[in-house]
Every structure is written in structure tokens, then in C-alpha cells.
Amino acid sequence: MSQENVDILRAVADHWNAGDRDLTTIAAYFDPAIELESPFSSVAGEPYRGHAGLEQWGRDVDEQFAEWSIALGDIRVAGNAVIAMSHIYGRGRASGVVVDFPCAAVACFGSHHLITRVRIYLEVGEALRAVGLEE
């Protein structure tokens, strides 16, 4: 297990949960050519790309949710990928509706321990299959 990659993923989640989404703080964890696919990507029609894409994703989430946190659960390593089974809690900004659901994030790392790709899955089993792991 690449403990360094696991620690990086935990650090990113800690920054997010603390409300610290400023790219100047978290950019050191991400490759400049990062690609992020999330449920919001389907609205945009394509992944968020680069550091500017990460910033846009953060704005998109903050626009929709007054609260949003990630509780990391089981974390596994598959090659250069780290998969985190997680739990998302959020409260809609306009509606006040609470969302509370399991999900999984697969973060792929490059040779310098920078995150090169993230995909967020609403189905944990789908994420595990994507990296060749079983439930």
C-alpha cells in the first residue's frame, strides 16, 4: 500500500471538510492536468480539467450546497489508484434538503505522488469494479 498516496487523499478530504478549498492550499496535491469526474460532470457534459476545473467544481458544489462534508471510510490501494469508500453529507443551499449517502472516490496518482485523476462514484460496487477489486 502506498501510504503516502493514502495520506494525500486523507489530507485533501480534511481540507475540504474544513472549508479550505482554496487552490493555493490544495494545488500541491494535484497534477496541473488533473481530471475530475463527479455527478456534476454529467451536467457539464465532460470532466473538470486542470486546476481551474477543480476550482469550478468547488464553486459548483458550494453553489448547490450550504453544507458538504466527506467522511472517509475503508481505503484500499489498487496499483497507482487509491479508492476511498466514503459517506457524503450535505444540505441544499436553497432547499435546505439534507442528503446523506454512501459513495466512493477513485484517485489515480502519477509518479510524483500527485493526483492525476479522480472519479466519484455513487455506487461503491461500481468503483471497486473499476479498479479490479471485489466488494
| Residues 123/135, Cβ–Cβ less than 8 Å | no
Helix (H, G, I), strand (E, B) or coil at 54: helix
pLDDT at 26: 86
The mean pLDDT of 7-34, rounded to a whole number, is 89
Q: Identify residue 22 by its one-letter amino acid code.
A: D
Per-residue confidence at 134, pLDDT binned at 50, 70, 90? Answer: confident
Question: Per the structure block, which three cell numbers stand in for 106?
Answer: 477513485
Q: Identify the three-state secondary structure at position 53.
A: helix
Q: Where are the domains of the chain?
A: 3-130
Report the percentage of the chain scoring pLDDT > 70.
96
pLDDT above 80: residue 23: no
pLDDT value for 75: 95
Residue 44 has a pLDDT of: 65
Residue 116 has pLDDT above 90, yes or no: yes
Mean pLDDT of 69-86: 94
Instruction: Please give the CATH architecture assigned to the domain spanning 3-130.
Output: Roll (3.10)
**pLDDT recorded at residue 1:** 52
